[in-house]
């Protein structure tokens, strides 16, 4: 997960200083996938002083990820508190 994030930053000529918010999908989904995503994002958030928001894939429609900013501004998303939703 971290490699993907670092590659994205490099390709888009960005640094962690440019990132204010980080969003991580907390489920529903497979245990190991969710855990690794949460751990990677939590570490990046803590080490770079970035706001971390957890969201459920049920909160967005048609993969409209721009809606995440709107939801975070309204206080709908979980900030710095990650409660994963695992599926079997």
Tell me how far the alpha carbon of residue 83 is from its chain's centroid.
12
Mean pLDDT of 13-18: 90
Query: Is 30 a domain residue?
Result: yes
Q: What pLDDT does 3 receive?
A: 85
Q: What pLDDT does 81 receive?
A: 58
Query: Is 66 a domain residue?
Result: yes
Q: How many domains does the chain have?
A: 1
Query: Is 2 a domain residue?
Result: no
Q: What pLDDT does 82 receive?
A: 57
Q: What pLDDT does 12 receive?
A: 95
3-state SS, residue 50: coil
Structural domain range at position 72: 16-79
16-22 long-range Cβ contacts below 8 angstroms, 24+ apart: 16/44, 16/48, 16/50, 19/48, 19/50, 20/50, 20/51, 21/50, 21/51, 21/52, 21/53, 21/69, 21/72, 22/50, 22/51, 22/52, 22/53
Q: pLDDT digits over 37-70, tens only?
A: 888 888 888 899 999 998 888 888 888 888 888 8
**What pTM did the predictor assign?**
0.77
Query: Is 20 a domain residue?
Result: yes
Query: Is 33 a domain residue?
Result: yes
Q: pLDDT digits over 61-82, tens only?
A: 888 888 888 888 888 887 765 5
């Amino acid at each position: 997960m971290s490699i993907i994030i670092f590659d994205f930053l490099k390709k888009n000529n960005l640094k962690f200083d440019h990132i204010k918010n980080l969003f991580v999908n907390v489920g529903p989904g497979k245990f190991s996938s969710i855990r690794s995503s949460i751990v990677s994002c939590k570490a990046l958030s803590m080490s770079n002083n970035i706001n971390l928001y957890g969201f459920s894939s049920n909160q967005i429609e048609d993969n409209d990820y721009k809606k995440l900013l709107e939801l975070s501004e309204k206080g709908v998303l979980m900030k710095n508190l990650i409660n994963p939703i695992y599926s079997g």
